Amino acid sequence: MIRIAHAAGNRPERLERALKAGVDLVEVDARFRGGDVWVRHEHRLGLLPLLYNHRLTGIHREGPFALSVGPHFFRLDVRRLRFEDVAARVRGRAGLLVDLKAGNYRPAEARRFVEAVLRTLEDFPGMLDFCGSWPLLDLVRTAKPGLPLHYSVDRQADWAALQARMGGPAQPPGVSLHPRLLTEERALALHGAGVELYCWDIEDRAGAERVLALGAAGIIADDLDLLRSLAGRPVRLPGAA
């Protein structure tokens, strides 16, 4: 079972804590702007050094230099992180789960984004995995067939879109599913189709045990103590005795 530190690659101090905890994968949110790959969950506000998003929860609302106004979150972009720098810090200490964040990318720009990420990771020695935007993951799949991919499913509409892909050439090799969408029936369907299941964001032990019992092969969580306690846990296939 793969233990993944949720968004740990997005801030230097969080990254170091996750690496010291001995997680299997560090998740990092990647965006493309100005020909470079940047590490951040938030959007950039035009030419201003200001990041923003709305309805964020948990560690995504941490500072420094941050302000929450109702559902809206703002943060000064004063300590910018390049993807290549995060990959270098993780190198040899853990693997990477790269969350390719969706954006209003033109087709050529989307290809450059994916090419830049893959170029940075060309000789990465650890485990690599990808989740996030489906169109970007499709580009990764075309460029590097066989790489682990977990298509993000966090809404009912995403689940419906997944069903349209099942059984055909576009069926994803894996999904990263929000636990509120996971039922025994769906777990059995994914397993039967050979689709690997990750679950995010798992908040506590009870939540972890529930998705593990339904066949989750990966747990994405903020709680490093929880991830540490799951070391060595086998994957239990749904429906097994």
Do residue 159 and residue 195 come from a single domain?
Answer: yes
Using CA atoms in the order 195, 154, 58, 203, what is the torsion angle rounded to 10 degrees? -50
Same domain flag for 164 and 69: no
Question: Is 238 domain-assigned?
Answer: no
Among 51, 80, 109, the domain boundary falls at 80
Same domain, 160 and 62: no
Considering only residues 238 and 116, tell me which one the structure prediction assigns the higher pLDDT. Answer: 116
Whether 196 and 207 map to the same domain: the answer is yes
Domain total of the chain: 2
In a domain, 240, yes or no: no
Q: Do 75 and 152 sit in the same domain of this protein?
A: no
Average pLDDT of the residues in 216-241:
89
pTM, rounded to two decimals: 0.93
Residue 85 is assigned to a structural domain of this protein: no
pLDDT value of residue 241: 53
Cβ–Cβ < 8 Å for 51, 43 = yes
Given a cut of 80, whether residue 61 has pLDDT beyond it is: no
Q: Kindly state whether residue 241 falls inside one of the protein's structural domains.
A: no
Residue 199 lies in a domain: yes
Q: Verify that 52 and 106 share a domain, yes or no.
A: no
Better-scored residue on pLDDT, 62 or 138: 138
240 pLDDT tier (thresholds 50, 70, 90) = low
Domain interval for residue 122: 2-40+93-229
Q: Which two tokens stand for residue 146?
A: 């066989």
Segment 140-149, tens digit of pLDDT: 999 999 999 9
Same domain, 131 and 33: yes
The pLDDT value recorded for residue 180 is 96
Check if the beta carbon of residue 96 is closer than 8 Å to that of residue 121: yes
For residues 204 and 219, give the distance between their C-alpha atoms in angstroms, rounded to a whole number. Answer: 11
In a domain, 114, yes or no: yes
pLDDT given at position 63: 77
Does 66 reside within a domain? Answer: yes
Q: What is the CATH number of the domain that holds 148?
A: 3.20.20.190
